[in-house]
Amino acid sequence: MNRDPHVLVEANGCPLSTCQVPAGSPCRTSANKVAVAYHTARFQLVPSLRSELRIVTPALRHPASAWAALPAPTTTAPVLDAEIRIGYARVSTKQQEIQSQIDALNAAGIHRLFQEHVSTRVRERPEMRAALASAREYRALGAKVALVVHEMKRLGRGALELLKVADELRDAGIELEFLTGPLQGKHDPAGYGAALFAFFAAMAEAERDYIRDKTLEGQETARTKGKAIGGVKVSDEDMLATALSLREEGLSLRESAARLVIRTGKKKGQHPSPATVMRMLRDHDDKVAAATLATETS
């Protein structure tokens, strides 16, 4: 497999609006000459060349000569036929030791390493995003790619989070490999490893059901004990009477809220929100309507 830099670069069309040459041809200048070096935006599309500062156009492309489109590559073979191993290491705090993970990943023969100190409670993990993006880039070039982590909890503690990562890997055809733990080994989402990804999905569904059931159970227990469900009530009869009076004067919800004051609880002394005033008045109107209907039908 030819892996000369110019071959890897020319596997992609140029993304620059001032160039936009098709795959298979060298870059061109604004004067429609063959560029002496490939545009940075183009060779940056190749993960293995991203660290390069300059890719020189080879002599066989006749740099500085009049540019002409060359035949597009006729082969459908992948540009890369090697296996690329992307390593990811994570600890929750800067006080935790991460070097043992890094040593294990390097011993496993990774090609690129992404590491970060971030809790699994944080939704956005930049290095994880970067690792997945790099894996997708290599995969797009035809390489077989594996995301390698020390153990499952480094990807995420919750089943929902694990499922999210697993879905991305499955959609991109990227393998997942654990170096230790009960799931140690390589898992191919398109092969035998599909069972692991299905397991993640089942775990996530079970976790969602468990959270929902526990929430409903807690709410029902609170109701039987006479506790209110939802936010702390900030309105009272005096506030309602004042709000009704302000409504009769034609004041808006925002104006009424600015004149009302919460008298109890943690928000004592503050103004209620317009939404709170709206709910208070709506509940009052519903009760009046229900009482009127009951009187008329009795």
The backbone torsions φ and ψ at residue 129, rounded to the nearest 5 degrees and listed phi first, read -60, -45
Say which of 48, 92, 235, 298 is annotated catalytic: 92
The backbone torsions φ and ψ at residue 152, rounded to the nearest 5 degrees and listed phi first, read -60, -40
Q: Please, are residues 81 and 107 in contact by the beta-carbon 8 Å criterion?
A: no
The backbone torsions φ and ψ at residue 90, rounded to the nearest 5 degrees and listed phi first, read -150, 140
Give the pair of three-digit tokens for residue 231.
């936010």
- The Cα–Cα gap between 43 and 13 comes to 10
Task: Enumerate residues 6+ apart whose C-beta is below 8 A from 49.
Answer: 5, 8, 9, 43, 55
Residue 92 catalytic? yes
DSSP label at 61? G
Catalytically active residues are 92
